Structure 1
Amino acid sequence: MKSILITGANIVNEGSISQQDILVENGRIAEIAEDLSTKSADIHINADGKYLFPGLIDDQVHFREPGLTHKGEIYTEAKAGVAGGTTSYMEMPNTVPQAVTIPLLEEKYARAKEVSLANYSFFFGGTNDNLEEILKLDLNNVCGLKVFQGSSTGNMVVDNIESLEGIFKHYKGLLAIHSENDHIIAANLEKYKAKYGEDIPIQAHPKIRSEEACYDASSRAVAMAKKFGTRLHILHISTAKELSLFDNSIPLEEKKITSEACIHHMWFSEEDYDTKGTLIKWNPAVKTANDREQIFQAMLDDRIDVIATDHAPHTLEEKRQVYTKAPSGGPLNQHSLVAMLDFYHQGKISLEKIAQKMCHNVAILFEIKDRGFIREGYFADLVLVDLNDPWTVSKENILAKCGWSPFEGHEFKSKVTHTIVSGHLAFDNGQFDESKKGERLKFSRKS
């Protein structure tokens, strides 16, 4: 592997910013010091005036492979993430076929090894009847178990209470939950169908996938986790009401129940349905401006532990269908860091907090081995940013296979200039080097 010397960078890491040089050798950070200018390396990056973050770790993406590759592929979506500073991702099991057996899960790992420019891990999927297979998982080799309490593909909604309790009681790894009560949602949907038929106004989405549906499912999951001592992680919090379920009084390392905020729930509100329509149709739904502000505050004060994207591409043709047929989800991973940096420019968050929520805390929460921090001996997963280089999102620079973005037309104030993945300079000012692929994430867990 080529060695890399980065000089003059403002390093954003572990709660502070300091100007230092970094030497990367054999895929890892070999040395960090104030002046390494006398060192030789194959690649020299002059980072004067720029800011160096640990590579982002996105704990929730849907890359659509296998089975749904007209929407996205591991190759295209990982590449889009790398352009946005994401060096590692954890992908969800609701593909076709679903990753609900170990052989099917390992097929996804094999594919990622061939094509993924970023580092990778894949969630195993829980169903009503695969507990025996779940308990065979090597917890140091898989990021976690995903259970859908809300709508998903095929049989992936775990709605049998005995099956759900069995998973909570017996699975000893990290259990990631999509928490929405399908019964409440179904009843709400029928009311709106009775009034509008299939062409329900998109503005009704947060009323159909309501605060009540989210809180009911999340509170039940938290109660069950407390009953069985489960390591529970609740994904994409979308309501202010749910925030009462989470604690910021203990260190993250000691938390048994953690939570995540997604970019779209901190950026958009129900007012944006008027202009964005089904392009911002997600599950859980984007809700009120108050929900948005309260989620952002909870992220700042550590009731919410990490920031992710829930990157979930669909084609424009699919999204432009009537409400009941338009799928939920959208592409986000190319723009997650620059979106948070816009919040920095607005004075809403510090650079150090961004690194904590998108890098450090994800590594801590999932117990990822040797990643998520800028430390000597750790893998060199790094992203270099010019904080003051504005650019506008357009179809010409969108890299997700679906070819659109809810941010299209928005001018971001900051730009990712370089992304280093496991010591390999994968992205350099718009150019990719795909000669080396990412690596499988490993985890340091006791059981």
Structure 2
Amino acid sequence: MNKTLLKNGKVVNEGTIKELDLLLEGDYILRISNDISDKDATVIDLEGKYVLPGIIDDQVHFREPGLTHKGNIATESRAAVAGGITTYMEQPNTVPQTTTIAKLEEKFSMAKETSFANYSFLFGGTNDNLEELKRLDKNACSGIKLFLGSSTGNMLVDDEAVIENIFNSTEMVISAHCEDETTIRKNLEAYREKYGEDIPIQYHPLIRSEEACYISSSRAIALAKKTGARLHVFHLSTGKETALFRNDIPLEEKKITSEVCIHHLWFSDKDYLDKGTLIKWNPAVKTAQDRKTLWKALLDDRIDVVATDHAPHVLAEKDNPYTSAPSGGPLVQHALPAMLEKHLDGVISLERMVEKMCHNPAKLFQIEKRGFIREGNFADLAVVSLNAPWKVSRENILYKCGWSPFDGNSFRARVTHTFVNGHLAYDNGKLSEKRNAKRLTFNR
């Protein structure tokens, strides 16, 4: 088997930073020690760069099948690898939707042929597919996704009896998008009466409001407590919601967990004037105070995971009046550099960042042999330099849609190398054409 020896890197793992050598053999980490030599290995001198476990992104929309003018598994996973993300969990609101076991396996077949990063998928719950959901093996995929707020097609789950039945019918993690549809529709109608279809974008967080988020997330949490279901609340956007989550027990003992996304940690409602619909997400980017409280909850462990909710649209779609401009934006290439920027600002330590982006997703979804730098684990690694300034531009954006909400932003840190199952998939700006990605396995 091919061997690679990484020398002189600072390994960030399980709460420590240590200068260690890593010997990779085939797909795995063979040895970790202070001073390794191996005459058969290809040596890469990392010169004091930081070595992180590969980032695990528990929420992406790669748009395949059916929406591939926006992105596809190949293009978006390449962008992810360039951003140090070695593993992703893709969402079910494609065309057709991933709401049957047959469609789920079709997506796995697509990813096997085209993905550059390790992959799994979430199975979509609807108002009418409970029997299919019950047939799903608990180790088949990442988990269940419920849209308890707007989604495409029939994926809005708004029948309370159905939701309770789903909560009672699976051992898998149920990941939920929580926004109350009744509240949103009422708010939208009020702004439509005043502005018509071209509502100013700055009202987006008032339409998809704090109240809409809190009503839905608190209701889902109450139901999870009632049924004993394993609930993971996606993309918190309000400070008020953070009070719903615990930090007095370790992650392994939590039945109810939460996630925050890069855009809710970076932008605020002040940015709508400059960015417009490019930062239109559901749930909406809200106030600077919400952002501050989300950071506090992330650092005190009420929020467990940082993800992207990568959801590309072409610019022609975004360049529309408010009511017809889609929500979502591309983020996988720039999520880790954005978090490293916050580290350099003194907001979060590297150890905590790795916990939230690598260790905790692996624990939460019970992923086998990933998320940690350990002997015997798959060699998924992201190497970063904290002193390598660069600027995001259309020339270096890898998303198929060709734009980024970070366009024009300067970062001080960058990803220099990404290893996917021991293969050097990204090397100082150059992407390998070889695919060495694997379907995730779970230990449930």
The TM-score range, normalised by the shorter chain, is over 0.9
In the TM superposition, residue 298 of structure 1 has moved relative to its aligned partner by 0.5
Q: What is the aligned partner in structure 1 of residue 359 from structure 2? A: 360
Q: State the SS of the aligned residue for 1:370.
A: coil
Q: What is the aligned partner in structure 1 of residue 35 from structure 2? A: 35
Matches within 5 A, 1:201-216: 201-216=200-215
Q: State the SS of the aligned residue for 1:397.
A: coil
Aligned mates of 2:387, 2:318 — CA distance in 1 = 33
Aligned amino acid, residue 148 of structure 1:
F
Q: State the SS of the aligned residue for 1:395.
A: coil
Kept in 2: contact 1:109–1:121 (CA 8 A): yes
Q: What is the aligned partner in structure 2 of residue 427 from structure 1? A: 426
Aligned mates of 1:148, 1:339 — CA distance in 2 = 27
Q: State the SS of the aligned residue for 2:175.
A: strand
Moved over 6 A (4+): none
Q: State the SS of the aligned residue for 2:402.
A: coil
Q: What is the aligned partner in structure 2 of residue 233 from structure 1? A: 232
Q: What is the aligned partner in structure 2 of residue 12 from structure 1? A: 12
Aligned amino acid, residue 39 of structure 1:
D
Q: What is the aligned partner in structure 2 of residue 129 from structure 1? A: 128
Kept in 2: contact 1:114–1:437 (CA 8 A): no
Matches within 5 A, 1:14-413: 14-36=14-36, 38-413=37-412
In the TM superposition, residue 42 of structure 1 has moved relative to its aligned partner by 4.3
Kept in 1: contact 2:199–2:322 (CA 8 A): yes
In the TM superposition, residue 43 of structure 1 has moved relative to its aligned partner by 2.7
In the TM superposition, residue 192 of structure 1 has moved relative to its aligned partner by 0.3
Kept in 2: contact 1:75–1:115 (CA 8 A): yes
Decide whether aligned partners of structure 1 residues 431 and 42 sit closer, same or farther in structure 2, where only a CA change above 3 A counts. farther
Q: State the SS of the aligned residue for 1:111.
A: helix
In the TM superposition, residue 376 of structure 1 has moved relative to its aligned partner by 0.3
Q: State the SS of the aligned residue for 2:17.
A: strand
Aligned mates of 1:161, 1:296 — CA distance in 2 = 32
In the TM superposition, residue 292 of structure 1 has moved relative to its aligned partner by 0.3
Aligned mates of 1:136, 1:215 — CA distance in 2 = 32
Aligned amino acid, residue 277 of structure 2:
T
TM-score, normalized by length of structure 2?
A: 0.99
Aligned amino acid, residue 32 of structure 1:
I
Kept in 2: contact 1:261–1:295 (CA 8 A): yes
Q: State the SS of the aligned residue for 1:194.
A: helix
The total of aligned residue pairs comes to: 444
Deviations 1:51-75 (A, max 9, x none): 0000000000000000000000000
Kept in 2: contact 1:141–1:441 (CA 8 A): no
Kept in 2: contact 1:5–1:40 (CA 8 A): no
Aligned mates of 1:443, 1:244 — CA distance in 2 = 30
List gaps (5 residues or longer) in structure 1: none
Percent identity of paired positions between Structure 1 and Structure 2 = 61
Q: State the SS of the aligned residue for 1:297.
A: helix
Q: State the SS of the aligned residue for 1:437.
A: coil
Deviations 1:176-202 (A, max 9, x none): 000000110000000000000000000
In the TM superposition, residue 2 of structure 1 has moved relative to its aligned partner by 2.5
In the TM superposition, residue 437 of structure 1 has moved relative to its aligned partner by 3.0
Aligned mates of 2:185, 2:330 — CA distance in 1 = 26
Q: State the SS of the aligned residue for 2:273.
A: helix
In the TM superposition, residue 41 of structure 1 has moved relative to its aligned partner by 4.1
In the TM superposition, residue 169 of structure 1 has moved relative to its aligned partner by 1.2
Q: State the SS of the aligned residue for 2:395.
A: helix
In the TM superposition, residue 136 of structure 1 has moved relative to its aligned partner by 1.2
Q: How big is the alpha-carbon RMSD for the aligned residues of Structure 1 and Structure 2?
A: 0.7
Q: State the SS of the aligned residue for 2:174.
A: strand
Kept in 2: contact 1:113–1:437 (CA 8 A): no
List gaps (5 residues or longer) in structure 2: none
In the TM superposition, residue 235 of structure 1 has moved relative to its aligned partner by 0.1
Q: State the SS of the aligned residue for 1:383.
A: strand
In the TM superposition, residue 141 of structure 1 has moved relative to its aligned partner by 2.4
Aligned mates of 2:148, 2:40 — CA distance in 1 = 51
In the TM superposition, residue 311 of structure 1 has moved relative to its aligned partner by 0.2
